[in-house]
Every structure is written in structure tokens, then in C-alpha cells.
């Protein structure tokens, strides 16, 4: 399978059934929904797979990108793809790729890392990770006030919005749906029409 960014750049694809890369239609929808927040943002991609979503964010001006996945082969692939996009970038974004279980990685804490503006979450659809990831993001204060967490999930199995969060927007693209979540009680950007 050929994997290309919306600008046409070809990326390395994951082998076989190792990962389920986000379709170009959904990637473009996400980038359009987040367009105003992307330039200069801090982006965290949890369960990054091939890194294609983070590559899209880099291409649109993200200043700091961090990608996490537990599969070592995918981590190496994501690092290769992200380095290729960073080299072709007009700005000099900071880049980190971590090979770790996402829940353990979140639990270790941010340390010196400032919180993120945008967090993209795309775990294996049936793994039951959405709620635990949201809890880990909250506990570690990984998302800045006013930031957005995006869930990519199966349209026929949309996870419940966890306590402490509200869904600002929800979109369906065939078998895939997107939920834009923000912490309750914190100001966020206006809903997208």
C-alpha cells in the first residue's frame, strides 16, 4: 500500500497488517478541523503507527511533535517518516519518537515537557484504551488548558466520553469517526461548523 501525505510526499508504509494507517480522507478532515491550531503547536500522537498523522501536523507547521507507539517496527518506521518530513520543512520543529506502551509512557509523567496543544489518539479500535488514555492525559496534565484531544475510532463502536471531558465536535467518515474532546471547565476554541 502506498502512503502519501496530502501534499503528495510519499512515506514508508507499514508492512502487512502491522497497522491501520488513517485514510487520506480522514487525515485531511482532521487537518481541516484543527487548521487554526496547527501552526506553532505542540502535538502529541499516541499510538502513532506509521507516524502519518504527525507527519501531516509537521507539514502544517507544528513546532514540537512527540509520537508514541509500543511496536518497535512501527516506531522505527515513524521515526524515518518524521525525519524525512522534518528535513523538507521550512521551519525547524522539535521531534521525539518513543517506543513504549502508551499507558506506561503517560504514567511516567511529563517531566520537563510543557503540556501539549493537540493530542491525537488512534489506538487499535477494539483495545479499550480510549478511557484509560484520557485518564492518563488528565492525571499527567498532558493537555494545556484550552487544548484539544482528538479520538479516531470505529463509527460502530464510539467510546463513551469519559468523566471530566466533553465532546466539542463529532464527525463520521464511513467506518471511522472523530471526536474532538476538551476538558470540562476549561475554555477552548469555538465549535467547528
Average pLDDT over residues 151-164: 95
Task: Judge whether 193 lies within some domain.
Answer: no
pLDDT in tens, 69-95: 999 998 999 999 899 888 877 778 899
Task: Judge whether 188 lies within some domain.
Answer: no
Task: Judge whether 152 lies within some domain.
Answer: yes
Task: Judge whether 9 lies within some domain.
Answer: yes
pLDDT at 16: 54
Task: Judge whether 190 lies within some domain.
Answer: no
Tally of domains in the chain: 1
pTM of the model: 0.87
Mean pLDDT score of the chain: 87
Place of cell 464510539: 158
What's the domain range around 163? 3-183
Q: How many CB atoms lie within 10 A of CB 168?
A: 18
Output the domain CATH number for residue 80.
Answer: 3.40.50.150
pLDDT at 187: 46
Task: Judge whether 96 lies within some domain.
Answer: yes
Q: How far is CA 120 from the centre of its chain?
A: 2
Task: Judge whether 45 lies within some domain.
Answer: yes
What are phi and psi for residue 51, nearest 5 degrees?
Answer: 85, 10
Residue 142's pLDDT band (boundaries 50, 70, 90)? Answer: very high
Select, from the ranges 15-29, 40-54, 85-99, the one with the highest average predicted confidence (pLDDT).
Answer: 40-54
pLDDT at 128: 93
Task: Judge whether 162 lies within some domain.
Answer: yes
Amino acid at each position: 500500500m502506498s502512503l502519501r501525505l496530502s501534499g503528495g510526499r510519499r512515506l514508508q508504509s507499514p508492512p502487512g497488517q502491522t497497522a491501520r494507517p488513517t485514510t487520506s480522507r480522514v487525515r485531511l478532515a482532521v487537518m481541516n478541523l484543527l487548521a487554526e491550531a496547527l501552526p506553532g503547536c505542540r502535538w502529541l500522537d499516541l499510538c502513532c503507527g506509521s507516524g502519518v498523522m504527525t507527519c501531516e501536523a509537521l507539514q502544517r507547521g507544528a513546532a514540537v511533535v512527540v509520537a508514541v507507539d509500543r511496536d518497535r517496527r512501527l516506531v522505527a518506521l515513524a521515526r524515518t517518516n518524521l525525519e524525512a518530513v522534518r528535513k523538507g520543512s521550512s521551519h525547524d520543529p522539535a521531534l521525539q519518537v518513543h517506543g513504549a506502551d502508551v499507558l506506561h509512557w503517560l504514567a511516567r509523567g511529563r517531566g520537563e515537557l510543557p503540556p501539549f496543544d493537540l493530542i491525537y489518539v488512534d489506538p487499535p479500535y477494539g483495545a479499550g484504551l480510549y478511557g484509560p488514555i484520557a485518564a492518563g492525559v488528565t492525571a499527567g496534565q498532558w493537555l494545556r488548558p484550552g487544548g484539544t484531544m482528538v479520538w479516531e475510532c470505529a463509527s460502530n463502536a464510539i467510546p463513551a466520553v469519559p468523566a471530566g471531558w466533553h465532546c466539542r465536535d463529532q464527525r463520521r467518515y464511513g467506518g471511522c469517526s472523530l471526536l474532538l474532546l476538551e476538558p470540562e471547565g476549561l475554555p477552548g476554541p469555538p465549535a467547528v461548523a
